[in-house]
Amino acid sequence: MPGLEDLYREIILDHYRNPRNRGELEVPPAHRVEGFNPLCGDEIVLYLDVDDSGTVRDIRISGQGCSISQSSASMMTSAVKGRTIDEIRDLTKAFKAMMSIHESSLEGGEGAEGTNGDAATGEIDGVPDVKLGDLEALRGVVKFPVRIKCATLAWNTLAQGLEDAAAEKA
Amino acid sequence: MAMTSTDPLDGTAVKADFPLLARQVHGKPIVYLDSAATSQKPSVVLEAMDRYYETINANVHRGVYAIAEEATNALEATRGKVRRFVNARSDAEIVFTKNATESLNLVVQSWGRANLAEGDVVVLSHMEHHANIVPWHILREQIGIELRWIPLDGHGRLDLTDLDRLLDGAKALGVTAMSNVLGTFTPVRRLTDAAHAAGAVAVIDACQSVPHAATDVQEMGADLLAFSAHKMCGPTGIGVLYGREELLDAMPPFLGGGEMIRDVTVDGFTPNDLPWKFEAGTPPIAEAIGLGAAVDYLGSLGMDKVRAHERALTEYALTSLGERFGDDLRIHGPQNAEERGGVMSFAFRDLHPHDISQVLDQHAVCVRAGHHCAKPLMKILGVGATARASFYVYNDTSDVDALGDALDAAGEFFAF
């Protein structure tokens, strides 16, 4: 039976209590995008500064919500800052796969049970070999399906923001 | 700590009537504190539904054979039970729906579309559940009615200072009898009197009140009133719309199909008499029988005792948890057990409701976290979500103590 320690690893609680990259950026040149979880009131406001080469130069978040949504958002910003849009896409795929959400299944919905995953490398069938680093701590969320939407909120918001940024540059 | 008010019901004894409450969760006895979301069911309700399927299951209102007659009689007998339970004047005033939400949609789409036009005013309150908000929004989008809102007073009650001005020229008032977030009992009679004085029809969302206190629709002055079986020890899948006969008579049908007609030709149809005019298709027969058994069960406890039990338990909760946690625990709504039922939304330190309910779950304590289908109210409370514990006939002081213990654990887990 999954216990609380499966869900709330130390690192998650650390990111919850000391969230990284809080604040705002000037819009423009940054993009502002909001995301929220209609089920429970988790809220994210994301500021993304993407340079011409497609690299996330700077990123900030604000918002309120449960420990899972806020820590996932904090970890997301650390993982994403300085990366290119392509790298971020791979990272997002890998993260969502860890949350058992596959793009081939329902859009944004909880996907098939179990993945062919290798916990050490984060390598999953059909998904690029990407190091998830600290994000690994959120692996336990899968055992609490109701909280998956909390963990993926920031990532879905990020995807929206990157789309907006790409659309603008097109 | 003893209860200060007398409690005529023994919650522990009542628990024994409910099979689910004997189970364990995560190795601990379940502590169910989410009756505002749905109630548990006593064996008598479950047995009644099984017995129906095992002995008299047949479609209703059409068969001549024995079990068809028996099924019809059982269904209509339930209607009579519900009529007496809410003190309606006739069975024609009791319509079976799927649930209270459907009842309210029926009111809006049938009464609303027949009686309202662009610019007509409907008054709601900031305390409403989405079921008494969204159907009106849909009507607003369809025909352009105007919505006005009774505000709250900062203490979890409706602020009635401007009531007459809000109702001036209004055609309908939609209001809850008891808040599913704050537990507040609204002054229904005062509201319906004011509505009638303004020439408005009074639509009451009684989802939380009918299960928890004696209901008298005459006393309440309700023109239309909705509630669900599943919050009052009955099964899911059936609800009730009460309506004054003259009103229902004048309303056009909502859903069309079999049962609700008198005649159908290629050119048109004539609707059936009340209440069947509003009951299209095969009704949830087994569920109706379950509802009947639930009404009998609550009747055997006595609704006055049900209310007194909850008043005592709520008082115990407010006092014991207040003493135990002080300012760490903020219970929304009126701070006394007179003005409120046993529905308690709360904030605990700075923990998010999701996290609170997660830890509570580990201790087998079931509370709800979220916006409780009352987003406008959440906005006024200044929160995205709350945790909510709610009591019913099968809860006792040990459940309240267990909630306290689990909150302690939550506080420890997230302490830094």
Question: Which residues of chain B lie closer than 8 angstroms to A13, CB-CB?
Answer: 414, 416
Q: Where are the beta strands (DSSP E) in B53-137?
A: 94-97, 121-125
Give CA angle at A113 (A131, A127), nearest 5°: 30
A4: nearest CB among B362, B370, B385: B362
Residue B6 lies in a domain: no
Specify whether B289 is located in the same domain as B158: yes
Residues B358 and B406 in one domain: yes
B353 contact residues in A (CB cutoff 8 A): 40, 66
Residues B156 and B192 grouped into a single domain: yes
- Asked whether residue B191 is assigned to any structural domain, the reply reads yes
Do residues B76 and B121 share a domain? yes
The domain boundary, picked from B238, B272, B300, lies at B300
From A68's Cα to the closest Cα of chain B, the distance in A is: 8
| Last residue of one domain, picked from the residues B300, B318, B353 | B300
| Residue B291 sits in the same domain as residue B356 | no
Cα B15-B33-B371 angle, rounded to 5 deg: 155
In angstroms, rounded to a whole number, what is the distance separating the alpha carbons of residues B263 and B368?
47
Q: Cβ–Cβ of B370/A40 closer than 8 Å?
A: yes
Same domain, yes or no, for B278 and B382? no
Q: Is A2 on the interface with B (CB under 8 A)?
A: no
Res B399 pLDDT > 60 = yes
Cα(B390)–Cα(A107) distance, integer angstroms: 35
* In-domain check, residue B381: yes
Report d(CA A91, CA A103) in Å as an integer: 13
- Distance, in Å, from the CA atom of A86 to the CA atom of B307, rounded to the nearest integer, reads 61
Residues of A in contact with B362 (CB under 8 A): 3-4
Q: Do the Cβ atoms of A66 and B353 come within 8 Å? A: yes
* Interface contact A140, partner B, CB < 8 A: no
Instruction: Judge contact between B78 and B292, C-beta under 8 A.
Output: yes
**Nearest residue in B to A147, CA atom:** B354
Choose from A13, A66, A149 for mutation: most chain B CBs within 10 A: A66
B358/A144 Cβ within 8 A: yes
| Percent of chain B's residues with pLDDT above 70 | 99
pLDDT in tens, B299-313: 999 999 999 999 999
CA B406 to chain centre: 27
Is there a contact between B378 and A8 if contact means CB atoms under 8 Å apart? no
**Taking CB atoms and an 8 Å limit, are A39 and B370 in contact across chains?**
yes
Per-residue b or e along A23-54, where b marks 16 or more CB atoms closer than 10 Å to that residue's CB: eebeeeebbbbebbbeebbbbbbbbbbbeeeb
* Gap between the Cα atoms of B208 and B350, Å rounded: 28
| DSSP classification of residue B34 | B
Report, as an integer, the average pLDDT of B35-64: 96
**A18-27 pLDDT, tens per residue?**
999 999 999 9
- Interval A114-170: pLDDT, tens: 444 444 444 455 567 788 888 888 888 888 888 899 999 999 999 999 988 888 776
User: CB contact, 8 Å: A40 with chain B?
Assistant: yes
| Beta-sheet pairing, B201-205 with B224-228 | parallel
- Min CA distance, B373 vs chain A (Å)? 9
Residue with tokens 């103590």: B401
- A75-93 average pLDDT score: 93
* One domain, residues B293 and B324: no
Helical (H) or strand (E) element with A97 = helix A85-98
Q: With an 8 Å Cβ cutoff, is A66 touching chain B?
A: yes
A147 touching chain B per CB within 8 A = yes
What φ, ψ does residue B238 adopt, rounded to 5°?
A: -145, 140
Nearest CA in chain A to B409: A4
CA dist B363 → A141, B25, B201 (Å): 19, 8, 47
Residue B202 and residue B222 in contact, taking contact as beta carbons nearer than 8 Å? yes
SS3 B169: coil
* Count of domains for chain B: 2
Task: Give chain B positions within 8 Å (CB) of A40.
Answer: 353-354, 369-371, 384-385
Residues of B in contact with A68 (CB under 8 A): 354-355
Residue B39 lies in a domain: no
Same domain membership, residue B291 and residue B338: no
Q: Give CA separation, B311 vs A1, B38, B183, B308, B337, in Å.
A: 37, 19, 11, 5, 5
Q: How far is CA B281 from the centre of its chain?
A: 24
Give the pLDDT band (50/70/90) at residue B117: very high
Which of B207, B233, B366, B373 does the annotation list as catalytic?
A: B373
Give the full edge-to-edge strand order of the sheet including B239-243. Answer: B94-97, B239-243, B224-228, B201-205, B170-176, B121-125, B146-150
Query: Which chain A residue lies closest to B353 (C-alpha atoms)?
Result: A66
The region that residue A67 occupies, defined by phi over 0 for left and psi between -120 and 50 for alpha, beta otherwise, is alpha
Spell out the domains of chain A, with CATH numbers in brackets.
Answer: 4-169 (3.90.1010.10)
Same domain (yes/no): B287, B325: no
The pLDDT, as a whole number, for residue B109 is 98
Higher-confidence residue of A142 and A91: namely: A91
CATH number (domain holding residue B384): 3.90.1150.10
Structure tokens at B42: 């006593």
Inter-chain CB proximity A4 and B370 less than 8 Å:
no
Whether B373 is a known active-site residue: answer yes
Residue B69, domain CATH: 3.40.640.10
Largest interatomic CA distance in chain A: 49
Which residue in chain B is spatially nearest to A18 when comparing CA positions? B416
**What are the distances in angstroms from CA A134 to CA A46, A146, B221?**
20, 22, 61
Q: Within 10 Å of residue B203's Cβ, how many Cβ atoms? A: 28
* Nearest residue in chain A measured CA to CA from B354: A66
Q: Chain A partners of B28 at a C-beta cutoff of 8 Å?
A: none
**Does residue B1 form part of some domain?**
no
- Give me the residues paired with residue B347 across strands: B330
Q: How many CB atoms lie within 10 A of CB A141?
A: 25
The 10 Å CB-count burial string (b at 16+, else e) for B260-269 is: bbeeeeeeee
Which distant-in-sequence residues (6+ apart) come within 8 Å of B16 by Cβ? none
* Domain housing B389: 11-32+303-413
Separation between Cα atoms, residue A170 and residue B136, nearest integer Å = 42
ipTM score of the complex?
A: 0.76
User: Which residues of chain B have a Cβ shorter than 8 Å from any chain A Cβ?
Assistant: 26-27, 352-355, 358-359, 362, 369-371, 378, 383-385, 413-414, 416
* Same domain flag for B327 and B255: no
How close, in Å, is residue B355 to chain A by CA atoms? Answer: 6
A15 contacts chain B (CB < 8 A): no
Q: How far is A2 from chain B (nearest CA, A)?
A: 9
**B337, B380 Cβ separation under 8 angstroms:** no
Based on the domain organization, do B160 and B228 belong to the same domain? yes
Per DSSP, B262 falls in state E
Best of B28, B34, B358 to mutate (most A CBs within 10 Å, chain A)? B358
pLDDT 10s digits, B223-241: 999 999 999 999 999 999 9
B294 within some domain = yes
State how far the Cα of A125 lies from the Cα of A138, in Å rounded to an integer: 19
Is the pLDDT at A70 greater than 60? The verdict is: yes
**Domain shared by B286 and B315, yes or no:** no
Q: What is the pLDDT of residues B344-381, one digit of tens each?
A: 999 999 899 999 999 999 999 999 998 899 999 999 99
Average pLDDT over every residue of B280-301: 97
Task: Indicate the residue among B244, B267, B300 that finishes a domain.
Answer: B300
Which residues are within 8 A (CB) of B236 and not within 5 positions of it... i.e. 6 or more apart?
Answer: B38, B99, B229, B230, B287
pLDDT: is B10 or B189 the higher one? B189
Distance to chain B for A66, nearest Cα, Å:
5
